[in-house]
Amino acid sequence: MEARKSDCRTLRSVKQHRGSRPPTIRQVADEAGVSTSTVSRAFSRPEMLLPSTVTFILEVADRLGYQPNPTARALSTGRPGTLAIVVPDIANPFFPPLIRGVQARADEAGYSVLLGDSDERPEKEVVLVAKLGARTEGAILASSRMSEATIREHASQRPIVLVNRDIEGLPRVLIDTASGVAEGVSHLAELGHRHIVYVSGPSSSWSNQQRRSAARARARRFGITFTVVAARRPTYEAGAAVAEQLLGSGATAALTFDDLLAQGLLAGLAKQSVAVPDDFSIIGCDDVLAATTHPPLTTVSAQGGDAGIAAVDLLLATIRGEARGGELRVVIPTSLVQRATTSQPRVHPSAVR
């Protein structure tokens, strides 16, 4: 096989330079003396062609600097080859590992990832999901702040996988921090604490609800006093701000919605000259700060990256229509990571030793 019609395609064969359109399948076909279908197949289904044809075409294509146009391919096949991931706040350290996992896995599967940040605002999330949904094959909603009804509505339009949001019937991956949190409460109870407080995060967060109720249930089981203190956003500042309030509550230990809050609390307590863990114990959640806090934070591990990978797998399965009933709900286990912010509560000074 050799190149035919390699005659003058008037001006079209000029070497590419800034501004010239990239070569199309048509040009490769002409240059190689085959039909466009053949060129198309050489790229999408090479097994249908003679190996020699494939190599020849690929060579010609390469020489011309041809690359299949993803947009055209998307329109023709109806498969954009992209996924969307939307999160409430990229800057919250819980999400980067998650996003990283998503992007890596999607990439392996030949997909690209569109990212959306809703800025913790449900209305903005709605718009984003609609906008991104139209240009993707499916979306992953991490810690969605939208109402269940709204989510269901979106899910009826296109494949959607939820992360840390438990809605019956929808594919979802849940990081089961509840078990880790319960473990944390047990740990505190066994240490001798009789009054603990839970510093809550965003009220519309499923994770927050899970953690709060898991902590409460376990506390009840041990018969220890359980109080809830609300922090606004899950931030360092908010954590530092609730320190005083905790001290006045009579509690000797706190579990916080996440590590950021715990870290802030650590600072707030330090400012009040309260020693951690000697005077007060703290347990965070998510394990996104590793041992970088001072002292190193005891927390509940959460494999954000794994969740991202699982979410992509689930989404891909859903897209392909392989998502069978049972596997709709993937649960990722967690456990308590003991570092240095918990210890026995300080007993009455005179009783020490």
Partner DNA sequence: CTGTTAGCGCTTTCAG
Partner DNA sequence: CTGAAAGCGCTAACAG
Residues at the interface with its own copies (CB under 8 A):
16-18, 22, 67, 69-72, 74-75, 80, 82, 89-91, 93, 95-97, 99-100, 103-104, 107, 112-117, 119, 128, 130-132, 134-135, 156-157, 236, 263-264, 267, 270, 290-294
Confirm or reject binding of residue 221 to DNA (CB under 7 A). Answer: no
Q: Of these, 72, 228, 291, 347, which contacts DNA (CB under 7 A)?
A: 72
Q: Tell me the number of residues near DNA by CB under 7 A.
A: 29
147 is an interface residue for DNA by CB under 7 A: no
| Non-local CB neighbours of 79 within 8 Å, separated by 6+ positions | 137
> Minimum distance between the CB of residue 135 and DNA, rounded to whole angstroms?
12
Q: Rounded distance, CA 219 to CA 222, Å?
A: 5
Q: Nearest distance from residue 7's CB to its own copies, in Å?
A: 27
Query: Can you name the residues that pair with 283 across neighbouring β-strands?
Result: 255, 298
- Least distance (Å) from its own copies to the CB of residue 324? 16
CA-nearest of 304, 310, 303 to 329 is 310
Whichever of 106 and 185 has its CB closer to its own copies, that residue is: 106
Q: Which positions from 250 through 309 interact with DNA, judged by CB under 7 A? A: none
Is 220 a residue that touches DNA (CB under 7 A)?
no
Chain position carrying tokens 């494939």: 54
Contact 125, 131 (CB under 8 A): no
Least distance from C-beta 185 to its own copies, angstroms? 26
Name residue 196's beta-bridge partners.
Answer: 226, 253
In angstroms, the CA 248 to CA 268 distance is 13
Q: Which is nearer to its own copies, 9 or 79 (CB)?
A: 79
Helices (H), 90-232: 95-108, 122-134, 148-157, 177-191, 206-222
Pick the closer one to DNA by CB: 45 or 220.
45
The residue (of 131 and 194) whose beta carbon lies closer to DNA is: 131
Compare residues 159 and 171 and give the one whose CB is closer to DNA.
159
**Closest distance between its own copies and the C-beta of residue 82, in Å?**
7
What does each C-alpha distance from 112 to 2, 142, 240, 308, 350 come to in angstroms?
36, 17, 39, 14, 64
Binds DNA (CB under 7 A): choice among 6, 20, 44, 272:
44
Helices 95-108 & 304-319 angle (0-180, nearest 10)? 40
Report the distance separating Cα 194 and Cα 223, nearest Å: 8
Chain contacts with DNA (rule: CB under 7 A)? 21, 24-26, 33-38, 40-41, 43-45, 48-50, 53, 66-69, 72-73, 75-78
